[in-house]
Structure 1
Amino acid sequence: MSGTILTLFNGLSLGSILLLIALGLAVTFGLMKVINMAHGELIMIGAYVTYVIQSLFLKYVPESFFDLYFLLSIPIAFFIAAGFGILLEVSLIRFLYKRPLDSLLATYGVGLMLQQLARSIFGAPNVGVQSPSFLNGGLTIGTLVLPYSRLFILSLSILCLVAIFLYFYRTTNGRRVRAVMQNRQMAECLGVQTRRVDLATFAIGSGFAGIAGCALTLLGPIGPTIGTYYIIDAFMVVVVGGVGALVGAVVGAFGIGFFNTVFEFFTSATIGKVLVFMLIIAFLQWRPSGLVSSRSRALDE
């Protein structure tokens, strides 16, 4: 029973990490149909922002206030990653709408440039980020120990999901975003400034990538290629869940995390990853549009 509960928790933990990484990608990919291969580097930016803030706290802030660095890093990582997202959208993405292959290649090149920039600034070796003291240890339940860091990432992913839901369904800007997703031409005819909606949405998606990078510092050392380890899994979550569907992203993330953990438990990490890919391929043969199909009022072209 303990082994089963631990396996379920590991699947839930991996699913929460994938959800946190894929949330921003689901927003941008769902709205603008842009394949942003630099999403992983936005995650890297959030991780390095956390490292820099930790270094500043170690140098200039009294030790008794050191734990505050991580709580401060979350909003700062969001805004800095969002700023990079705005710069990327204004300088490149806006010229590549409705050109998915061009956007894929261009953002892949931007990702390589950002990786090299990180190597030039911080060096090629990985760097460590010290976890705050309140996230050390774990919650003991009988013979089980559930790490506080994993529980924090789970709580953070749920909080981010609630924030996106409230933004989409409880604000005026969120209604504009959903209108553009359903029918861009009609939204323009009704006075919605779609260019501003695209820019704001891309910035929000990039900001959540920064939060994901901040959370990943709790799991181990970070380096210039930290985002590339997760970008494929993030795209799998978006495709399996359904493009632009938050509910589908949640189910896809936790489903992939659960099956990945179960397969690894009975086989190995490599074989488990292969089995997950095979399961996803079989699923997409059955439902090519994903778990949740987004309805559109636009005529099929």
Structure 2
Amino acid sequence: MESFSELGAILLMQGFNGLSVFSVLLLMALGLAIIFGQMGVINMAHGEFLAIGAYTTYVFSEMTQAWLPSAMPYYYVVSMLAAFAITFALGWLVEWAMVRHLYRRPLDTLLATWGLSLILQQALRSTFGPREVSPVLPDWLMGSFQPMEYVDIPINGLFVMLVTLLLTAAVMIALFRSGWGLRVRATVQNRAMSGAVGIDTRHVDRVTFALGCGIAGIAGAAFTTISATGPTSGSLYIVDTFLTVVFGGAASLFGTIASAFVIAQTQSVSEFFMTGSMAKVLTLSAVVLILMLRPQGLFSIKVRK
């Protein structure tokens, strides 16, 4: 009887691990879904914006320890806001300096942002070194609680899930209950007609790109609670993130959420029965097979050309 309890606890822990992976994937995919799904821009540097957000948290941790140790319980929330502000501003600059010249040229956009990702990786490596770093987390993010025997739920995982929930709700409200969201959806549906009725589509593009980068910065700050950060940390997630967005339907945020959940839970449960590498291969193979049968993804919207 005890072995069945242990098995149930293990399966429950695997399910929670799947939710943690889902949270990381969704945090990454939210920003990319806005940039790629809403604008059609293939941003290969998206992972580097996550790394910049993570390094921002690390810098705030080091500065707080050195200059204001009494603020350690509070610095983390401030660092998340700073990560958003820095990556939003950098995204605005990148859109103005480079991306706006490459719209409707997907291959050029892919190559240009891939080059940008290499530049940002080298800049991070030159600034912080090649070794991975981790911030000192506040005490309220440490430890775990035990809802039942054999089951330990880490508090940092719960925090990442809470951030994901709040950020997803905020993006949904912004897209479907605000004037900015209305302009974004109008531009996606028919760019020429949107411009004809007075919508500044270039401004919409710039804010949308910057917001997607800002969300990646928040994802990076949350990422530091569950893993160390290195110059190439963001690039390790970019393929899975693109796959999540495409699998869910490139222009559907609901599809992105469903896709992240399916991929994360499938991979987590598979890892219980096989190695991590084989579980990833199985998950990606299943996704590719489904995309062959349904190339528009799980969800799709009708877009006027």
Paired positions, count:
297
What does residue 73 of structure 2 align with? 67
Q: Note the alpha carbon deviations across 1:80-138, whole angstroms, 9 max, x for none.
A: 00111011111110111111111111101100001111111111111121121101111
CA–CA separation in structure 1 for the residues paired with 2:80 and 2:39: 26
1:141 alignment counterpart: 147
1:105 maps to which residue?
Answer: 111
Aligned partner of 1:84 in structure 2 is: 90
SS at match of 2:281: helix
Tell me by how many angstroms 1:10 deviates.
Answer: 1.0
1:46-84, Cα deviation, whole Å (9 max, x unpaired): 0110011111101111x3320211111111100100111
Paired residue for 1:23, among 27, 30, 50?
30
Residue number among 205, 208, 218 corresponding to 2:215 in the alignment: 208
SS in 2 for 1:140: strand
What amino acid maps onto 1:141 in structure 2? P
Select 1:129's aligned residue among 135, 141, 146: 135
Distance 2:85 2:301 in 1: 29
Q: 2:277 aligns with which of 270, 273, 277?
A: 270
Alignment of 1:1-301 (within 5 A): 1-61=8-68, 63-143=69-149, 144-298=151-305
In structure 1, distance between residues paired with 2:145 and 2:112:
45
Please identify runs of 4+ aligned residues in structure 1 that moved more than 6 A: none
Distance 1:221 1:165 in 2: 30
Structure 2 counterpart SS, 1:23: helix
Deviations 1:190-215 (A, max 9, x none): 11100000000001000000001101
Residue 297 of structure 1 deviates from its aligned partner by 2.8
Aligned residue for 2:302, secondary structure, equals: coil
The SS at the match of 2:44 is coil
Q: Is the Cα contact below 8 Å between 1:78 and 1:208 reproduced in 2?
A: yes
Gaps of 5+ in 1: none
1:241–1:290 contact (8 Å) kept in structure 2? yes
Identity %: 43
Secondary structure of the corresponding residue to residue 146 of structure 2: strand
* Aligned-partner SS, 1:205: helix
RMSD after superposition: 0.9
8 Å Cα contact 1:93-1:103 kept in structure 2: yes
What's the offset of the Cα at 1:220?
Answer: 2.2
- Determine if contact 1:24/1:208 at 8 Å carries over to the other structure: yes
Give the letter for the 2:135 counterpart. Answer: V
Cα deviation code 1:7-51 (max 9, x no counterpart): 111111111110001100000101221100000110110011001
> Which residue identity lines up with residue 125 of structure 2 in the other structure?
R
The amino acid across from 1:279 in the alignment is A
- Contact kept? 1:30, 1:181, Cα under 8 Å: no
